[in-house]
C-alpha cells in the first residue's frame, strides 16, 4: 500500500474536479479550479498505489501582510479508499506546510449532516467551534456547518 501526494497541474486539474464532484455536496466554479493551480502546496492530489483517490485544496489567509491561518476549503477521499490514512496524509501535509510558513491555525467548516467527517476531524485533534447557520448557501435549502479549528504547536 503506497500513498503519494502530487502537485496540482493543468494536466491533472480534471482529477480534482472529478473527485470533488463525486465526494462533496457542493459545486465549485471554473474560476475556483483555475485559481487552484496558483496555490502551490495548498492543493494536492493523493494517489493510492498510483490511482488518484483524494484531494485537498486550501487557502492561506493574511492580515496586515502576515500569514495568519490556513483554511481547508475541500478535502475529499473516494469512499472505497477511506480508512487507509489518505485523508490524514493530506491534512498532515497542510499542517507541515503551516509550520514552514509560521501559521498557527488551520480551520474548516463541516456540514452538520456529515457526522463521519465531523468525527474524523475531531479524531485528528480539531476542536468543534460555533455553528454557522446557512453556511452552504448554494444548497437548496441552505445548510448549516460547524467551524472546526486546529491549533498548531
Residues marked as catalytic: 71, 109
Closest CA to 108 of 84, 14, 98: 98
Q: In the structure grid, which three cell numbers stand for residue 127, read together? A: 476542536
Which grid coordinates belong to 7? Answer: 502537485
Q: What is the dihedral of CA 32, 140, 130, 88, to 10 degrees?
A: -50
What single-letter DSSP state applies at residue 11? T
Kindly tell me the burial class for residue 41, based on how many C-beta atoms sit within 10 Å of its own C-beta (0-12, 13-18, 19 or more). Answer: middle
Where residue 102 falls (left for φ over 0; alpha for ψ -120 to 50; beta otherwise) is: left
Number of H helices, E strands in the chain: 4, 7
Find the radius of gyration of the CA atoms of the chain. Answer: 15
Amino acid at each position: 500500500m503506497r500513498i503519494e501526494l502530487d502537485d496540482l497541474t493543468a494536466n491533472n486539474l480534471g482529477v480534482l474536479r472529478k473527485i470533488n464532484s463525486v465526494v462533496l455536496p457542493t459545486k465549485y466554479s471554473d474560476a475556483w479550479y483555475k485559481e487552484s493551480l496558483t496555490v502551490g502546496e495548498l492543493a494536492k492530489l493523493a494517489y493510492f498505489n498510483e490511482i488518484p483517490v483524494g484531494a485537498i485544496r486550501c487557502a492561506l489567509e493574511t492580515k496586515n501582510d502576515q500569514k495568519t491561518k490556513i483554511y481547508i476549503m475541500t478535502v475529499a477521499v473516494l469512499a472505497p479508499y477511506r480508512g487507509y490514512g489518505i485523508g490524514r496524509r493530506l491534512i498532515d501535509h497542510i499542517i507541515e506546510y503551516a509550520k514552514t510558513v509560521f501559521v498557527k491555525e488551520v480551520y474548516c467548516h463541516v456540514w452538520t449532516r456529515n457526522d463521519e467527517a465531523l468525527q474524523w476531524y475531531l479524531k485528528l485533534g480539531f476542536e468543534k467551534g460555533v455553528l454557522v447557520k446557512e453556511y452552504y448557501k448554494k444548497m437548496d435549502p441552505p445548510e448549516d456547518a460547524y467551524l472546526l479549528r486546529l491549533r498548531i504547536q
